[in-house]
Amino acid sequence: NAGVTQTPKFRVLKTGQSMTLLCAQDMNHEYMYWYRQDPGMGLRLIHYSVGEGTTAKGEVPDGYNVSRLKKQNFLLGLESAAPSQTSVYFCASSPGGTGYDEQFFGPGTRLTVL
């Protein structure tokens, strides 16, 4: 099993450009999450999904959109990138629903917005 994979690994954007980050998991997990990690800070939740076709806002959702059309995929979109969105983005998944789930993380996408 590949676990959680993220595409791409690195990306450089200019201000105002758009892009989509793809997260895929092969563990049949219900819940999926997008986080950003900035220097000196822990992970902050952007958006999450508790099942196919559902999405919800996390702690820092502004400037991002998400979609979960298939259970195994969770897409994070930046419609008009800003330098403040320079960060490392992590996707995670968990079985969901037990209240005692660990999360499984992807390797991250390093995004730079110039």
Partner 1 sequence: SQQGEEDPQALSIQEGENATMNCSYKTSINNLQWYRQNSGRGLVHLILIRSNEREKHSGRLRVTLDTSKKSSSLLITASRAADTASYFCATERWSQGGKLIFGQGTELSVKP
Q: Classify 22 as helix, strand or coil.
A: strand
Binning the chain into helix, strand and coil, the percentages to the nearest 5 are 5, 50, 50
Contact 89, 107 (CB under 8 A): no
**100 counts as binding partner 1 under rule CB under 8 A:** yes
DSSP character at residue 69? S
Which is closer to partner 1, CB of 28 or CB of 100? 100
**108 counts as binding partner 1 under rule CB under 8 A:** yes
- Please choose, out of 17-25, 39-47, 65-73, 75-83, the segment that lies near partner 1 by the rule CB under 8 A: 39-47
Q: Classify 85 as helix, strand or coil.
A: helix
Which is closer to partner 1, CB of 14 or CB of 100? 100
Which is closer to partner 1, CB of 9 or CB of 15? 9
According to CB under 8 A, which one of 1, 14, 28, 41 is a site residue for partner 1?
A: 41
